[in-house]
Chains A and B, each alone.
Chain A
Amino acid sequence: MSKKITVSKAIREGLLEEMRRDDKMFIMGEDMAVMGNVFAVTTGFLDEFGPDRVIDTPISEEGFCGMAVGAAMRGMHPCVELMYDDFITVCADPIFNQAAKLKYMSGGQCSIPMVLRMPMGSGRRNAGQHSQSLEGMVCHFPGLKVVAPCSAADAKGLIKSAMRDPDPVVVFEHKLLYAKKEEIPEDEDYLVPIGKANVKREGKDLTIITWSREVNFSMEAAEKLAAEGIDVEVLDLRTLVPIDWDAIKASVSKTHNVIIVSEEVKRGSYAGEISAQIAEELFDELDAPVERVCGLNIVSPFSPVLEDQNFPHPDDIVKAVKRVLNK
């Protein structure tokens, strides 16, 4: 049985089910309670769970992230939202230095079972300080798990798995996916495991490794390529850390050609990290150089015309695939 709902509703369902299941869980962030979140992820939560478990904060990301880390140390299960992932830079210490490391610094005496939700991505005319895709930076820090779902079903299944995980999990949610309506299972208690990629489309000529919104673009590109007789495989990573290396290895060993598509600034991107790992460990499987298809090395422009040039579209992916295959 399945039903059709938006990605933001799917996340809301996941959070709602977990709030009802787990009374140690609470939600905190800017406009999360009275307003019910700018993307309507927590509408109705304040009425059902009250102000102790659904907390509006001032604009004070470092402060409330620090509070969440402290609460998690004491056994609570906080779910914190940064309105935009760009704001991670002001809470670098509580997230990267405390949440990620305290289990290790304390010799395993505590763990930090918190979830940090971060809307990300370009295309909303939000300009340079509210449009970034910072996967590369977040994935750099050992101690964090990082997921970046694309579909509604994965978004719900992963947020539930994240809430049940004993370690800090960062969830990248693409802002322009929230309104997309998709089929999800009716089953209340289904989970999508952290660390498992999904072969979204099978193919034999080339593997597109991607995540978040670029999965949809890659699927569009794959259809266009199929019309020209090029059969690509689309691997939706879903989880970035820990990466599903078995899935990557299996796919690359099958197709021998790879591109990695993400919305990040290309320089220093997580796409680059994956490319390097493939070059190191799967060199003998490669029939062409691995190509990264990413955003430009520029500050995200405000101009709609320019912003749309700044992340990979299906046609860019089609071109990259043809370049690699020399078709």
Chain B
Amino acid sequence: MAHEVLMPQLGLTMEEGTVSQWIKHEGDEVKTGDVIVEITTDKLTNEVASEFDGVLLKIVAQEGEDIPVKGLLAYIGQPGEAVGGDAPAAAPAAPAAEAAPAAAPAAAAPAPVAAANGARIRISPLARKTAAKLGVDYSSIVGTGTSGRIRQADILAAAEAQKNAPAAPAAAPAAAAPTAKPAAKEAGLDLMEGDTVVKLTGMRKVVAERMLASHTEIPCVTQNIKVDVTELMKFRKMLLAETGRKYSVNDLILKATAKCLKNHPEMRVSFDGNRIIQRAHVNIGMAVALDAGLITPVIRDADKMGLEELADTAKDLATRAKENKLLPEEYKGSTITVTNLGMFGIETFTPIINQPDAAIIGVCATENELDLDDEGNLIKKQVMRLSVTLDHRLLDGAVVAKFEMDLRDMLQNPMSILL
């Protein structure tokens, strides 16, 4: 029997991937470790290597097709070997195997292996057994064990709660298995002469889904604040003279933001249904524009880095983002995001929040402005606006305004960024 090549799961939240390119073709000899296909997923392109020696007998998933995790991609085997009953279904089966434990007791609630958001649930074996016995759906229970693991006590408490509130025990919205998102309907637009059609795939598709979700779920407000960056620009020159290194405006803004965020824990929150998660770490997402879309690698614990380390990290992440070489965990876990359109001359904009952050800081262009000094003399200043979008479910305008003022003051007095 030939070996099946399946769509790998490359991140906790990955549900499907798009076959972007077959490196090997039907009939090609493959060895263990040879890259056979490229798939695009979760904003990145990943290579899938063969786990077997043999010949690529049959390609089942064609380029451009979206295949669920564990869905069939191809067969590898010995020449002439039969593949999958010789009649592989055109549509690969959904990843049913993991979702349904084979021998669930008849009376028990369906035992979910995935949380509502698709992540694997941490639950102790004893708690799982107890849940099956008592018929408790644990997909929405928050565990009290290490790392949020659900323990027997949590199941017993949930069973008790279920008993005491018989009216709505099954009202938990969580689905037992991650249901595939319904594909957006094509409106069937008329094509006009010269139009071309490209399938929405990979990064573009992810960006589209995430931006739509953020924009529709979050009641957002954008607040612009003007920053006098005259001193900041001088400070950059001074740093260049002192250290010989040319720090970008963005480096200094990242550093100031990290420092400021440390003093403003109220800005580091995430909305999660009925819970507010207070984020312990200052993890700054940094939006990087790519030809195919955009991605936000995360600078972890940015508040603990000196300017040099922070600038190095930002540069490394941006470079690798552009080369498509980020690891999945490197673009997850942000607690706030900075997006910079200043280099494009954008005066102000309304950035869309990168969920699950509660705010995003948009950095705008530096412009010259005339002003009057205290004696009434005309002076030239350099100014820049920060456009901060906030999630009004969690944050209020005045709270964020205070943060913005602190950030502004720090940027206007640049020595304080490094102190």
Contact = CB atoms under 8 A, between A and B. Distances in A.
A206 to B, nearest CB: 12
Contacts of B158: none
Interface string B142-164: 00111001011000000000000
A288 B145 contact: yes
Contact of B145 (A284, A285, A287): A287
Nearest to B154: A287
A286 B146 contact: no
A232 to B, nearest CB: 16
B124 A286 contact: yes
B151 A287 contact: yes
Contacts of A267: none
Contacts of B125: 283-287
A326 B149 CA distance: 10
B129 interface: yes
Contacts of B152: 256, 287
Given A256-B152, A323-B146, A284 B129 contact: yes
A288 B125 CA distance: 8
B126 A285 contact: yes
A287 B149 CA distance: 9
A285 B127 CA distance: 9
Interface in A240-289: 256, 283-289
Contacts of A324: 146
Nearest to A282: B125
A152 B146 CA distance: 38
Given A256-B152, A287-B151, A326 B146 contact: yes
A18 to B, nearest CB: 45
Chain A, interface residues (CB within 8 Å), range? 10 to 19
B144 A326 contact: yes
Contacts of A285: 125-126
Contacts of A288: 124, 145-146, 149, 151
A286 B126 contact: yes
A307 B144 CA distance: 36
A326 B145 contact: yes
Nearest to B126: A287
A284 B146 CA distance: 18
A100 to B, nearest CB: 35
Interface in B110-138: 124-129
A326 B127 CA distance: 15
A94 B146 CA distance: 47
A103 B7 CA distance: 55
Contacts of B146: 288-289, 323-324, 326
A284 B126 contact: yes
Nearest to A285: B126
A258 to B, nearest CB: 11
Interface of B: 124-129, 144-146, 149, 151-152
Given A256-B124, A284-B128, 11 more contacts: A256-B126, A284-B126, A287-B125, A287-B151, A287-B152, A288-B124, A288-B146, A323-B146, A326-B145, A326-B146, A326-B149
